[in-house]
Structure 1
């Protein structure tokens, strides 16, 4: 078992804390949120549940393409050549997506909504076969056509562009819910939404919140455990969602540059970052980058575990930033 531990944990008092551990869950984003909180006397379960649910409901209301009345859906329907007013959180997340798109040269792209729909991973539901190349080519997508006015709180719709923030919004939801708990004075908690996690503080025993990284099915790789003390952990794996057609399996992770699912060479990526939004988005970018994932992660000091298929087994690459947490 390998253990990843942040330097900050050395300054944390590893001694028992008072309070009771509360475990709660609820629905969001087609999955569920779960939380473990070390709650002091006087903090009710109802108050904790309401804080988390309100935070994630706010993200859905702004960023879900499955909700017709969300701010994102309103932008997707806006006429060509229009500036669309948007709440601050949506603007910030889109801006973060555009920044990563620039950094990754399009491996991450927040404007692939039309492509997601064509491949059967959008609100319209699954498809029985791969879309025609002509339809993919004609689909409006491309982050360069999107303009973000942060100061003015608006987004520019060039015409037919459809945002899809599924590669970043869950992580942002985790960050928002964590901030809501901290705002209640609940400094010790572990939050998860659909496999994206963020830990703050410690458990009642004084130990950190431990997160075990999920390996690809059938792998015999050495387990990795993360001390989620002021850290977030996100994992993307190509086995989790997809469809089969004509004897081939298609991953749910799309390469915006080829307008098709990524190949099967990269099995999984785990990213450790202070912000869950960043961990979530970087996972997606690295999955798309494939053979270039390690080079990108090293250049930008991303703490990542990259798992590749090799013959009938798996090999892994540990970035220097992650190795520093293991040493």
Structure 2
């Protein structure tokens, strides 16, 4: 069971600093307590800009785009290898439900940097380029074993960026903070009066409304859902979470998957995988884990919106009546 760690230091009277900005095509909000009242916005913006130079698919000069257009890439930043390493771990644990070589499919189905028509996608022909075993890597470089393979780290990179910013704050002796980037969150320590940080879980059927709140201390929280990234064409709804083993955007009873872990890179990779695995397989998987917790919102057999929460988070999550 993953147990949230409570900061041993009693919350004092340090001032709380709040900063916000834009990164990775979304927004970020950071709050932290610092007796020195330091403003780290410039440093954090620089860190996130460097992160984009490594893993953004929307920058033609990013490392991941350079690799996608070539066969071998020698790492220029410290970010590429850890994301590949964690991806390999989750790929193996989920039997391929999470697979960053999914890029040919996401692009063909209309979710890449270039908007394409998913109805024209030849999925069967693209599956030959999907499979994490089709690349090899070490701490210095990554190589394609099969030409045509391309990486899409959008299912895990944002979580890692939250971890990186959190590590920066800790390196500045900040141990009471909340870092949120695009809805992915890491919390450390407590607020004033030893109260825990509180994060919201969005209602998947009511944009902007909350379905539940959760108390976080020493935990990361990430959420995946079919409700924030989809589009309709010719009366059909296309959702962005694709099964990398079949290439299809399969129907699922899951509406939202929130994962809790000790770091956001782990939570972010698994929330994507769980959506692909579906409700029952995810519940079975979670029953065998000691370092993951989750909160699942789904549609039951009667069409009613229901939820499932793992034991370790039951006392920390509060559902909002009639969300």
CA apart distance, 1:261 = 1.7
1:8 aligns with 2:13: no
CA apart distance, 1:135 = 6.4
1:53 aligns with 2:45: yes
1:305 aligns with 2:295: yes
- Alignment partner of 1:320 out of 300, 311, 322: 311
CA-atom RMSD in angstroms: 2.5
Structure 1, residues 187-223: CA drift from partner, whole Å, max 9, x if none?
A: 211111111000112223331211122232259xx95
Give the structure 2 partner of residue 276 of structure 1: 264
1:35 aligns with 2:22: no
Q: Distance in 1 between matches of 2:260 and 2:23?
A: 23
Count of residues paired in the alignment: 311
1:62 aligns with 2:54: yes
SS of residue matched to 1:205: helix
- List aligned pairs for 1:1-327, cutoff 5 A: 6-9=3-6, 12-13=8-9, 15-41=10-36, 43-45=37-39, 48-79=40-71, 83-86=72-75, 87-125=77-115, 127-133=116-122, 137=126, 140-150=129-139, 153-158=140-145, 159-217=147-205, 224-291=212-279, 292-301=281-290, 302-310=292-300, 311-323=302-314
Unmatched 5+ stretches in structure 2: 318-323
Note closer, same or farther for the CA distance 1:49–1:193 as it changes in structure 2 (3 Å cut). Answer: same
- Whether contact under 8 Å (2:294, 2:309) holds in the other structure is yes
CA apart distance, 1:74 = 1.2
Q: Distance in 1 between matches of 2:148 and 2:126?
A: 14
Note closer, same or farther for the CA distance 1:202–1:137 as it changes in structure 2 (3 Å cut). Answer: same
Note closer, same or farther for the CA distance 1:44–1:7 as it changes in structure 2 (3 Å cut). Answer: closer
- Whether contact under 8 Å (2:31, 2:177) holds in the other structure is yes
SS of residue matched to 1:283: helix
CA apart distance, 1:39 = 2.1
- Whether contact under 8 Å (2:219, 2:261) holds in the other structure is yes
Structure 1, residues 103-130: CA drift from partner, whole Å, max 9, x if none?
A: 11110001111111111111113x3442
Q: Distance in 1 between matches of 2:178 and 2:127?
A: 43
Note closer, same or farther for the CA distance 1:26–1:44 as it changes in structure 2 (3 Å cut). Answer: same
Note closer, same or farther for the CA distance 1:224–1:134 as it changes in structure 2 (3 Å cut). Answer: closer
Note closer, same or farther for the CA distance 1:23–1:134 as it changes in structure 2 (3 Å cut). Answer: closer
